[in-house]
Amino acid sequence: MKKILVFLSLIIIAGCSQAQDAAVKNPSPSIQNIPAFHILSKDSVYITNANLKKGKAVMFVYFSPDCSHCQRLMYELKPHITDFKNIQIVLVTFTQINMLKMLKEFHRDYVFAAQPNVLMGTEYPDYKIQRYYSVATTPYIAIYGRNGKLVEAFDKSPKVPELIAAVKKAE
């Protein structure tokens, strides 16, 4: 019994020390401001903060092209795209550059290619945005007002009415 207790104690101590190491290596930064970003679009063009229009609300969506939750969210947003016409949408993924075909297909199927307010690209290989938001699951959404300050963030896929309400607050 004593050996089992010692063994369990060692496991707990090891787990706690690893959790502390992870917190030190990846500190959770404040997400109150729009992050600096550098993403490669499906057309192999780099997009940065300079591509954002000043004084306009921004919605970051961190997604994966093969994520069923992300696909479902985009499908559900399609009929409501006019509710998002006054906000800049930045779709960011971690997909490797050699998989830009997936990005093109996602854009074609879900992102309303004709919408001028949608920017999309991959942040591979640096993952700065993923670390900035401490993204654990996709889709992750952060909405910023015209002043560049956070209005609301969703660490899991929100219901469309919740998202529309947050966008209205940001405008």
Q: Is residue 7 part of a domain?
A: no
Residue 10 falls within a domain, yes or no? Answer: no
Judge whether 2 lies within some domain: no
What pLDDT does 133 receive?
A: 95
Alpha-carbon distance of 72 to 157, in angstroms, equals: 9
Within a domain: residue 3?
Answer: no
**Lowest mean pLDDT: which of 5-9, 57-61, 77-81, 148-152?**
5-9
pLDDT at 167: 96
Domain range for 104:
30-170
The answer to whether residue 136 sits within a structural domain is yes
**Predicted confidence (pLDDT) at residue 40 exceeds the cutoff of 70:** yes
- On whether residue 101 sits in a domain, the answer given is yes
Q: What is the pLDDT of residue 107?
A: 85
Q: Which CATH number belongs to the domain containing residue 59 in this structure?
A: 3.40.30.10
Per residue in 75-124, pLDDT (tens digit) is 999 899 899 999 999 999 998 877 888 888 888 888 666 688 999 999 99
**pTM for this structure?**
0.80
Residue 11 placed within a domain: no
149, part of any domain: yes
Domains contained in the chain, number = 1
